[in-house]
Amino acid sequence: MSEHSSNNAQKDEQKNDFIRNIIRDDVNAQKYPQIVTRFPPEPNGYLHLGHVKSICLNFGVAKEFGGVCNLRFDDTNPTAEKQDYIDNIKNDVKWLGFEWAGEAHHASGYFDQLYAWAVQLIEQGDAYVDLQSPEQIKENRGSFNEAGTPSPHRDASVEENLNLFNDMKEGKFAEGKAVLRAKIDMASPNMNMRDPVIYRVMHQEHHQTGDKWCIYPMYDFAHPLSDALEGITHSLCTLEFEDHRPFYDWAVEKIGFDVPPHQYEFSRLNVDYTMTSKRKLKQLVDENIVSGWDDPRMPTIAGMRRRGYTPEGLRDFCERVGVTKVDSVVDFRLLEFSIRQSLETTTARGMAVLKPLKVTITNFAEAVSSWESQKADSVNARFDEASQTLWLTQPNHPNVDMGEREIPFTETLYIDQGDYEIEPPAGYKRLSPEKPEIRLRNTYVLAVTEHTLDESGNVVELKATIDPATLGNNPEGRKVKGVIHWVSASQGVLATVRMYEQLFSVEDPSSVADVHQALNADSLTELNAVVEPSLANSDAGTRFQFEREGYFIADSEEHTSDKPVFNQIVSLRDSYKPA
């Protein structure tokens, strides 16, 4: 079996997970007229890597089983939510390749109905207004080892509770002075069933409803009833909501839905050296530790998009991770593997020297002046007398038809500093005084004749010659090992290249109390590089493979042809192999 076939077989097997098996059984039993899922983010920050898995799962299973997936914003906490977050979440979902059914929904769009249902619960004797302080409610909730203490207001009459709840709605209570609680069981072993709060007072204008409300439903109340309103059949949540499922079922049962939705839990996406707490990521933004939510080091979808990650690579990563009920930590290199796989056949090649070392070709004029007579059939070139530039036409990709580009070859070049060592380490295969000859990518064999040192003993310039007979040909009588990349010093363009390491130096950054202690001081390095003109003239957002260096993207915000800026996407290769 080929590697490609093996990868496809692996993906097919991963799609046979427990959630898909449940849905498959429901479809076969014709339990629902149509499968309906939802993706319900709270707009209190930008989406991160963990959300990618939920997006791919919810939208993916809906598509696979001929259903639809709703996008619903859980906007029940106006103190933390912004329209900017809503706009970016929509953009993220579309960028990942998914479309939601109809218009986007908002929990706030159901506030009138949720309020009516809260009144219904009071009238049924299933909810009451509690005037205890938040501290008293917390203290009386009990512990895992002892039952909670009922509120002194728990047995108030329906009429009294209706009046108090209306006073909450009319703004007659300050924040923290009154809440509406579900009346369930203060002795329940599940703490979430000990009369949970379902409405609280918040004198806060809402980004969707304005100042209409000063009471807002809690997520655990709004979520199941919003699902029921929308006809959600399979409500897919991460494992931390498993203990909340009894209240989910209680709420839809008490309101009385003929076909209630059902909640299913799966393991969240945990990746090593990665933070997926929106609160802590927001702290990094607020404290200017990163340049914003879309900083390429951030594990946000916006950050990964600006970094140059592809939606195809992220979807492939989620398929490889799979869907289970067991929490685990995924190796970050699997994510990089998927991104690298998606870039191999989709990105044009180019040459960029990240740490330039000047090379002067002392026989350039005489060697290149006779290039036509020396030219091999495989070489497509033209010589410009005015600029003394040999323009070499090369394909943009060695194996995929992506067109061609012209590369300028001139008397003065830059090669990478690491490609010449006075005292090379063992196994070194590039230039040194003992090995002065090497092939320049797409051009001649070059031989170093001398090097110049600065006062600190660093090599600052090389003098070299080129073999005129080796443009497109192998040298006669000798074998030259090694090929290095280069850029014209006169025709190349100065560029800022940003190299990235992990933002966090701790394998589990969420385990560190102070996020500052988990930061990697070397997460960003900016290099003054030189790139070939075709790279500088590219559009912002264009991805490339810098030959021998890795994959890079022209920064979507700052890149221009005059001042090119490139972000490293991922290294060229890694020893990591997925299981």
Task: Give me the amino acid identity at 135.
Answer: E
Rounded Cα distance, 334 and 321, in Å: 9
Give the whole-angstrom CA distance, residue 475 versus residue 447. Answer: 12
Compute the distance between CA of residue 38 and CA of residue 233 in angstroms, rounded to an integer. Answer: 9
In the structure encoding, which two tokens stand for residue 180, read together? 């509406």
d(CA 127, CA 215): 15
- Distance set, CA 80 to CA 74, 207, 246, 536 (Å): 11, 10, 27, 41
Q: What residues have CB less than 8 Å from 87, skipping those under 6 apart?
A: none
Q: Is 397 exposed, middle or buried (0-12, 13-18, 19+ CB in 10 A)?
A: middle
Q: Answer for the pair 105, 71: CB distance below 8 angstroms, yes or no.
A: yes
Q: Which of 42, 64, 421, 501 is catalytic?
A: 42
Q: Residue 84 is inside which H or E element, if any?
A: helix 83-95
- 207 in Cβ contact with 83 (< 8 Å): yes
268 is catalytic: yes
Catalytic residue from among 278, 315, 439, 498: 278
Which SS3 state, helix, strand or coil, does residue 308 take?
coil
CB 558 within 8 A of CB 552: no
Is 278 catalytic? The answer is yes
* Angle at alpha carbon of residue 541, lines to 285 and 47, rounded to 5°: 35
The residue type of 505 is S
Catalytic position from the list 268, 435, 463, 548: 268
Catalytic annotation on 297? no
Q: Hunting for tokens 């696979």 — which residue is that?
A: 64
DSSP state of 40: -
Angle separating helix axes 158-169 and 111-123, nearest 10 degrees: 160
CB 519 within 8 A of CB 287: no
- Three-point CA angle 173, 177, 178, nearest 5°: 80
Give every CB contact of residue 112 below 8 A, 6+ residues apart in sequence: none
The answer to whether 431 touches 450, Cβ cutoff 8 Å, is no
d(CA 481, CA 28): 63
Name every residue whose Cβ is closer than 8 Å to that of residue 451 and which is 6 or more positions away in sequence: 420, 422, 433, 459, 461, 462, 463
Euclidean distance between CA atoms 413 and 409, whole angstroms = 8
Asked whether 47 and 6 are in contact (CB, 8 A), the reply is: no
Which residues participate in catalysis according to the annotation?
42, 268, 278
